[in-house]
Amino acid sequence: MNPRVRLVGRGPVLAAATAVLRDAASGHGQFLMISGEAGIGKTAVLAELTDRAGPDWTVLRGVCWDRPGAPPYWPWAQVLRATCVPPADLGEARRLVEPPATDGHGTAMDPGAAADAEFSVFEAVGQCLSALAAERPILVVLDDLHWADAASLRLLGFLARALAGSRLVLAGAYRDTEASDDLLAVSATAQHLRLGGLGAEQVRELVTSIVGPDGSELGDQVWERSGGNPFFVGELARLMVAQGTPDQRPPIPAGIAETLRRRLARLSTDCIHVLERVAVAGGEVDTELLVRIGAAGNEIELNSLLDEARRAGVVAGEHERPRLAHDLYRETILGSLGAMTRTEIDLALGLALQERPGSAARVAAHLLAAGSRVRRKAVEYSVLAAREASARLGHDDACGHYRRALKMIDAEGADVPWDPSRGALLVELADAHARAGRGDEARTHYLAAAVSARTADDAIVLARAALGLESLGQRSGAHRADLLDLLEEAAARLEAVDGSLSLQSRVYGARARMLRHGSIAVPDETVAAAAERAVELAAAAGDSQALAEARLAQHDSQWTPGTARRRLPLIDAMLDAATAAHDADLVAQAHQLRAAALLELGDPTGRDELLTYITLAERLGHARGRWGALTRRATFAQLAGHADEAARLGEEALELGLAIGVPDAIGCFCTSRWALVALGVPEPPSDLDPADPLWPMFPLLKAWPLAVRGELDAAADALGDFSVLDVAVWTGLEGLAAAAVVFSAIGTTAQRVWTYDRLRPYAGTDVVVGGCASYHAAVDHHLGTLAAALGDTDSAEKHFQSALALHERLGAAGWARITEQELAALASSVASDNEFRPTNGIWQLAYDGVHVQLPDSKGLGDLAVLIGAQGNDVHVSTLVGSEVPHTGGDPVLDATARAQYKARLADLAEQLDQADAYGDAVRAEKLSAERDALVHELSAATGLGGRARRLGDETERARKTVSARVRDTLTKLDQSHPALAAHLRASVQLGTTCTYSPTHPTTWRLS
């Protein structure tokens, strides 16, 4: 049927389609999808749309194919070829038209690079079409999308999202009854025109246009039987006329297949013989192949038979490459074929196609259909087809080929030797799943491969499975004991395998990296030993690639705070090996690690190294490199104080990282965002999975931005009873930096001292997270805030001055500004009227803007000593002027009573020590109150600590003396300075040892 004839009744559809062309011509790219059942007129609408585009448009066509042998991205390969752009100018898109050659064995693509490669191809196709559309409007027509492979649909969806501002129309058609979920998802984003059946009047018009004036009498009959399907209408109308019963209601066949069989019956037996082979070949085939499989005696005879089919309207297409006019013909022909005939044709096609490069998928499909006689050959070509699909980035197709190969192996039985082995195929299937972005399925098949490898005692496959599992990645800080065990087992088994030194090196290197970057503490010598072994094996193998990876493992084995200077020579060695191996990814990573080490040391050349890494990462040409460049651009912007730019880049990187499956995309985003909070950027979402390695730090992370913004009550509520033992030290200095920010604002004295003591060894360096994932200021800045909170203004000033010099040296403008603010605040507090000092026998007391003078008293002297102790405990004997407590006199209790009192007080003392160590001020206060009450009740008979009370006990007398005179002083202070009295009452704890520990940092002039 002439396609234009079938456009009867399609006026509204064509009007909408024409509007799409008009909008796109004005620079508003459009995505149009036309759906409906087979024969409804979808192709005709696309043809009319092409005509209406006219000579001002470039039209690019692609048609999908439903046979398993169709290569990945087949419709897009047709489109790209139609552009007439030389393959060399297509960039990564050339993979779709000229796939990389394979040696029949293939090389497994790094699963982590699979999504990157696909993204690069998609981007290259988009750039090609955009460039063409800049010259003149482009109409891309894709027909039969219900047969499109998943990769082609992903590319269609990718391009559809990038249409804005272009003169490009994507127009597709598909059978909605056969559409996959992926196709429906893509179509949901398009302008959608669904073609339904024609009405009775329209069918009458269509029939008349086909068979002449007599068609009006057939119209109602055809409409009732056809449901208004234009193709069925035309075929039924012609059949009725051919049967010579235009004025009667003949029996309508059960389905359109019967109609087509009647039409095919008019062809000669030899012609049907040719068409059967065309149908089995997929509906389209070249004449040379038809001759080779015996469709006709020679090419002249074949062309004569094809001409017969053309005249009957069954065959269309170019003379050298005939195709069936409609797939319904193919279905009808295949339905009439006997099983034996079909098998013989498939076998002939499979054998004939073996000599054609790039035809492995078609060969495998035909050999599979040919049955058990050629099953081994079918396995071989299924594997080859999978590798060819991977080379074309058709990872979904590759998975299908591997699954079919494994199914055939399992059907044949385990006693039949296959090459490659079942375990090796499982690894390749897992690799394909990983490249396709299906990590869970990849993990399942890697584990199955490991089981198979153990059964077959195949150390190579076991090692490949273990490395595959490690390559899937994991959240920073995660601990995978099972995977570590598997790597250790693989290393042990490989020692007996000749020629496996490079693989052994990779296994040892992977294990070293996992040990270092996990959340479980592992002895440094254990990690270092694994890395050293990796280096030895790579050097023995003479493999530069393996050596570069081993040097990376060696670097990571020593990657702890304070080791930057020691790591630099290892990075240089890694760079040399990576350069020798021509591995651009590892070369870029070496510059990234060097940047991190130099910045940690406060060396400004680290900025240049970071920019070098960014440039190299962008040149890698894959999405993972682009993600690395984006995240580190965010760090560079943050370092320079451009907070808004850093936040924008971080969000772009997060979106890209999630799209390509970077395991630590969220972690990298969050560490960058948390650092940016200090520069005024909102914090990242506070939700955290309990399975996340950072879960114990969740209260600290929630309190972090609140503390920065000065929302201290909210920060305290968020922090709760957080213990310093839950600070994640495996994060390097990042966790300690976060603790410093929070504890400086709302922490206890014990928490501040604990954090200060752990940061102090790294003074003079900077907090750089991972490979420059973020920058958290100079360590001295955090030491300064802690010292200020502890009341040590002299130390705080020194730390802040050092931090300011480091920030200015690195060009960290934002952090330099923050450090200057801290210095100003410190100077302000020192210069304030907060005083507690004697002058000529008179105490000058100033607090909260109120100044009073009091006469000298021992209670004021005790308070001054406690304030000057900066949160440390002071024994009452010191306050009364006795350095060593003395006891004397006779005991007043028997031994049994003393033992009971001693046990209870010892228990209280132990609990108090624990509370102090964990910084639990509330619990410590309760325990102190219980201890003091017990001591008070038993003071008449028992001394402190369960010792027999002796007459004249100096410690007890000193405690009572100090308590009495401090309380007396505070009572007097209530009258002259109630605010100061209240502050001291809340901040001073009295007992055998006394402490001044204010809730918020308070500085004093004491002399």
pLDDT value, residue 34? 95
| Residue 817: pLDDT over 90 | yes
pLDDT value, residue 903? 62
pLDDT value, residue 892? 43
Pick among 1.10.1790, 2.170.140, 2.60.40, 1.10.10: CATH of 254-337:
1.10.10
pLDDT value, residue 138? 95
Start-to-end CA distance of the chain, whole Å, equals 106
Q: Measuring CA to CA, how many Å separate 467 from each of 16, 290, 461?
A: 54, 46, 10
Tens-place pLDDT, residues 247-276: 554 443 456 666 677 778 888 999 989 898
pLDDT value, residue 71? 84
Question: Could you give phi then psi for residue 285, rounded to 5 degrees?
Answer: -160, 155
pLDDT value, residue 859? 94
Average pLDDT over residues 720-745: 85
pLDDT value, residue 209? 80
pLDDT value, residue 555? 92
pLDDT band of 477, cuts 50, 70, 90 = very low
Length of the chain in terms of residues written: 1007
3-state DSSP helix/strand/coil % of the chain, to nearest 5: 65, 10, 30
CA distance 809 to 805: 6
pLDDT value, residue 217? 67
Q: Residue 313 region, left (φ>0) first, then alpha (ψ -120 to 50), else beta? A: left
Nearest to 192 by CA among 233, 150, 160, 158: 160
pLDDT value, residue 143? 94
Tens-place pLDDT, residues 44-83: 899 999 999 989 999 999 999 877 777 889 999 999 988 8
Tens-place pLDDT, residues 854-872: 888 999 999 999 988 878 8
Instruction: Specify whether domain 13-98+114-194 bears CATH 3.20.20.10.
Output: no
CB 40 within 8 A of CB 197: yes
Tell me which range, 77-86, 220-229, 822-831, is most confidently predicted by mean pLDDT.
77-86
Instruction: Return the percentage of the chain with pLDDT > 90, whole number.
Output: 32
- For the sheet containing 58-63, what is the strand order? 58-63, 138-143, 168-175, 30-36, 191-194
Beta strand 988-989 pairing with 993-996 = antiparallel
| Residue 886: pLDDT over 50 | no
Average pLDDT over residues 117-130: 89
Give the lowest-confidence range in 700-714, 754-768, 969-983: 700-714
Beta strand 138-143 pairing with 168-175 = parallel
Q: Measuring CA to CA, how many Å separate 807 from each of 320, 325, 512, 602, 820?
A: 73, 74, 34, 8, 10
3 state SS of 497: coil
**Two tokens, residue 938:** 């038993």
Cβ-count burial of 285 within 10 angstroms (0-12 exposed, 13-18 middle, 19+ buried)?
Answer: buried
| Residue 158: pLDDT over 80 | yes
CA distance 549 to 508: 10
More confident residue, 580 or 357: 580
Average pLDDT over residues 388-412: 79
pLDDT band of 437, cuts 50, 70, 90 = low
Give the lowest-confidence range in 654-658, 752-756, 818-822: 654-658
pLDDT value, residue 940? 45
pLDDT value, residue 402? 84
Cα angle for residues 862, 753, 843 (degrees, 5° grid): 25
| Residue 813: pLDDT over 80 | yes
Average pLDDT over residues 435-453: 82
Tell me which range, 355-364, 573-582, 921-930, is most confidently predicted by mean pLDDT.
573-582
Which residue's entry shows tokens 């998943």? 150
Q: Give the other-Cβ count within 10 Å of 675's Cβ.
A: 28
pLDDT value, residue 390? 76
| Residue 987: pLDDT over 60 | yes
Tens-place pLDDT, residues 526-570: 888 888 999 999 999 999 999 999 999 999 888 888 999 999 999
Domain limits of the chain?
13-98+114-194, 198-245, 254-337, 474-558, 587-830, 836-885+955-1006
Average pLDDT over residues 498-511: 88
Q: Residue 71 region, left (φ>0) first, then alpha (ψ -120 to 50), else beta? A: beta
pLDDT value, residue 889? 43
More confident residue, 615 or 163: 615
Give the lowest-confidence range in 494-498, 532-536, 615-619, 730-734: 730-734
pLDDT value, residue 205? 84
Nearest to 946 by CA among 990, 995, 891: 891
CA distance 458 to 517: 29
Average pLDDT over residues 966-990: 92
| Residue 599: pLDDT over 80 | yes
Tell me which range, 319-333, 447-461, 806-820, is most confidently predicted by mean pLDDT.
806-820
More confident residue, 488 or 730: 488
| Residue 888: pLDDT over 60 | no
Cβ-count burial of 681 within 10 angstroms (0-12 exposed, 13-18 middle, 19+ buried)?
Answer: buried
